[in-house]
Amino acid sequence: MKIAILSRNKNLYSTRRLVEACEQRGHDPVVLDVLRTYMTVTSSKPEVHFKGEVLPQFDAVIPRIGASVTFYGTAVLRQYEMTGSFPLNESVAISRSRDKLRSLQLLSRRGLGMPNTGFANNPDDIQDLIKMVGGAPLVIKLLEGTQGIGVVLAETKKAAESVLEAFMGLKANILVQEYIKESGGADIRCFVVGGKVVAAMKRQAQPGEFRSNLHRGGSSSLIKITPAERATAVKAAKAMGLNVAGVDLLRSERGPLIMEVNSSPGLEGIETSTGKDIAGMIIEFIEKNAKPHKTRTRGKG
């Protein structure tokens, strides 16, 4: 199969592993910088171009689209969906997962566990907003933040009021969430491929830090998840419409709570921690499912 990998950097671990997995299984992978890919939108023959050339039809497209280029990246992916290529994750599903508030609302509609979350626009509502999530300590998140950036732990009510007033004064969109103290600065990354959790790792924050992201210096290790955690991760990926997802969970006294559903989860941490060939599993999923015009939305929404 001809497989396009939409990635800004062909030297990234995840991109390299996907190329290796394609080649090992006899496929023809091409890495395309999504920001150098452009398109012609016509009613007769929609095309995708790259550096002055018309790109051929691909059997499948693997989107590795960073959060900062979501709008342009999903537009390129949508163009491929219109031409009949099979997307590993559909453009609509990626857009859902990248909108933190929308994704939480979708998870809420499915009755899935998550930290109590508040969203408001006016500084006059700060007092009630803090009360809604159980008071301080609480977590404040920028909707546009990624990899732990723009996430603040406010340990007192006064600190929470000050941070919220500052963010609102800057017209930033923010979420307020209850702080799950019993998680102890750790979360669980469940890697879902084709409706199954194929691997899981525990991410532990550094001493004095509550964010467990590996980009923030957190450590990862192998972990055995419970049936409830496995079921929650699978349902979360399904709620987003994602074939491949990294579902981040917190262990709490009331069961697993979903922190985030990632549509472009990194492979390095999970493969290193578990020793599993996750890239190979992704390509195997494509082999079994890639058919022309199989996209559910076909670029329509």
DSSP-assigned states of every residue in 175-207: EEEE--GGGTTEEEEEEEETTEEEEEEEEEPPT
| Secondary-structure class of domain 2-95 per CATH | alpha beta
Residue 44: per-residue pLDDT:
75
Residue 301: per-residue pLDDT:
42
Under CATH, domain 117-179 is a member of which superfamily? ATP-grasp fold, A domain (3.30.1490.20)
Q: What residues in the chain have per-residue pLDDT under 70? A: 145-149, 207-219, 293-301
Q: Choose which CATH entry (3.30.390.50, 1.10.1740.10, 3.30.470.20, 3.40.50.300) describes domain 182-284.
A: 3.30.470.20
Measured at the CA of 263, the angle between CA 301 and CA 217, to 5 degrees, comes to 150
The CA-atom distances, in angstroms, between 153 and each of 38, 122, 202, 259, 261 are 41, 20, 21, 15, 20
Residue 299: per-residue pLDDT:
40
Strand order in the sheet with 47-50: 37-40, 47-50, 53-54
Residue 284: per-residue pLDDT:
97
Two structure tokens written together for 120: 């408001």
Domains in the chain: boundaries: 2-95, 117-179, 182-284
One fold for 117-179 and 182-284: no
Burial of 275 (0-12, 13-18, 19+ CB in 10 A): exposed
